[in-house]
Amino acid sequence: MNKLTANITAVGKYLPEKKLTNKDLENFLDTSDEWIQDRTGIHTRRIASKNEATSDLCINAIKELLNGKNIDPNDIDAIIVATVTPDMMFPSTACIIQKKIGANNAWGFDLSAACSGFLFALETGSQFISSGRYKKVLVVGSDTMSSILNYSDRNTCILFGDGAGVVLLEPSNKGFGIIDSKLNIDGTGGEYLYLKAGGSRLPTSIETIKNNHHFLYQEGKTVFKYAVRGMYNVSKDILERNNISVNDIKLFIPHQANKRIIDSTAKKLKIDSNKVLINIDKYANTTAGTIPIGLYDAVNEKKVSKGDYVLLTVFGAGFTFGSTLIKWGL
């Protein structure tokens, strides 16, 4: 039998209904629509309602995927959820999802790699499939960033939104799907982007709450520079080691953190701007959600066809970064 690859055979996404525009932010923050659009490319972001947690966003995305392909949840072997905003510390979001969608034969877990989470989960799921042991793996990327943002900090709260995306991985013996992944972590970047409290180092206390330590902290300028360098390096490396030129890439889906980061990375890679998927204007940075939401949009807008090469690239807290090369097989 030919070597098995993990093919993406279905996609789903969910964005909460509520929109928070730059104009809305102007009402309570010292910022402007012009500044945000100019410096980040963001216009609107979606915000989860009070009764929506990350598992709810994921379940809506998964239901769309399952209904669209008429899949029985009992056929799902594993559920991998990339998130840094799980419903709670434990049980895992994967367990909550498994119960609610009735995936009675599945196992699964959450994976924490911030904005790179989806690609780390995709590589994990891909290995599960190509080993031959599993036939249907759901890989979900979702974050409810509004639950960890300080809406009086203009440096951070303008950047993020809530959302979920999911793909189904199934085996292909014709070489479609995940061709290669190059993933990295660099812990020296940990001090530039983190959420300090609520873990075992600094458990929740009145002090931690008073000091706003339950909110995301970021040194934006530093992360910006590392993001461009990191995404460029892994993208270049993965193309080189697969003997694929940028001209062979039909679609580049980079992590959506800042339009200027995307533009600089694409320019360094010499990828034509009309091959770059951009949806940051509508959704902002949904952390682990950006890549699967981007994949969904690409499919929906017919930006990819069977046999096309698609390059995915991410950068996030940790630092974590990586690139995945796909031969589109849907």
Shorter beta-carbon distance to ligand UT7: residue 93 or 285: 285
Start-end of H helices in the chain = 22-26, 33-40, 54-69, 93-101, 117-130, 206-210, 220-241, 259-269, 280-283, 290-300
Residue type at position 263: D
Scanning residues 103 to 122, which ones bind ligand UT7 (CB under 6 A)?
115
Could you tell me the two tokens for 325? 């090369």
Among residues 22, 285, 286, 320, which is the contact residue for ligand UT7, using CB under 6 A?
285
Considering only 11, 111, 257, 266, the residue that binds ligand UT7 (CB under 6 A) is 257
Among 39, 135, 229, 268, indicate the residue that binds ligand UT7 (CB under 6 A): 39
Pick the binder of ligand UT7 from 43, 135, 185, 220 (CB under 6 A). 220
Q: Give the binding-site size for ligand UT7 (rule: CB under 6 A).
A: 21
Q: Which is nearer to ligand UT7, 35 or 151 (CB)?
A: 35
Determine, following the binding rule CB under 6 A, whether residue 40 of this chain makes contact with ligand UT7.
yes
**Residue number of the CB atom closest to ligand UT7:** 220
The DSSP code sequence of 155-203 is: TTTTTB-EEEEEEEEEEESSS-EEEEEEEEE-GGGGGGEEE-SSSSSS-
- Contacting residue, 50, 201, 221, 302, with ligand UT7 by CB under 6 A: 221
Backbone angles phi, psi at 161, to 5 degrees: -145, 180
Candidates 47-55, 154-162, 201-209, 293-301: pick the segment binding ligand UT7 (CB under 6 A).
Answer: 154-162
Q: Are 159 and 257 in contact (CB under 8 A)?
A: yes
Q: How far is CA 8 from CA 75, 125, 181, 252, 315, in A?
A: 16, 11, 15, 16, 22
Give me the residue label for tokens 């001209």: 247
Would you call 255 a catalytic residue per the annotation? yes
Question: Is residue 31 part of the contact set for ligand UT7 (CB under 6 A)?
Answer: yes
Q: Does residue 155 interact with ligand UT7 by CB under 6 A?
A: yes
Q: Per DSSP, what are the bridge partners of residue 167?
A: 11, 139
DSSP state of 17: S
Tell me if residue 285 is catalytic: yes
Contact between 305 and 224 (Cβ < 8 Å) = no
Q: Is position 227 an interface residue for ligand UT7 (rule: CB under 6 A)?
A: yes
Active site residues: 115, 255, 285
Positions that interact with ligand UT7 (CB under 6 A): 31, 35-36, 39-40, 115, 154-155, 158-159, 220-221, 223-224, 227, 255, 257-258, 285, 315-316
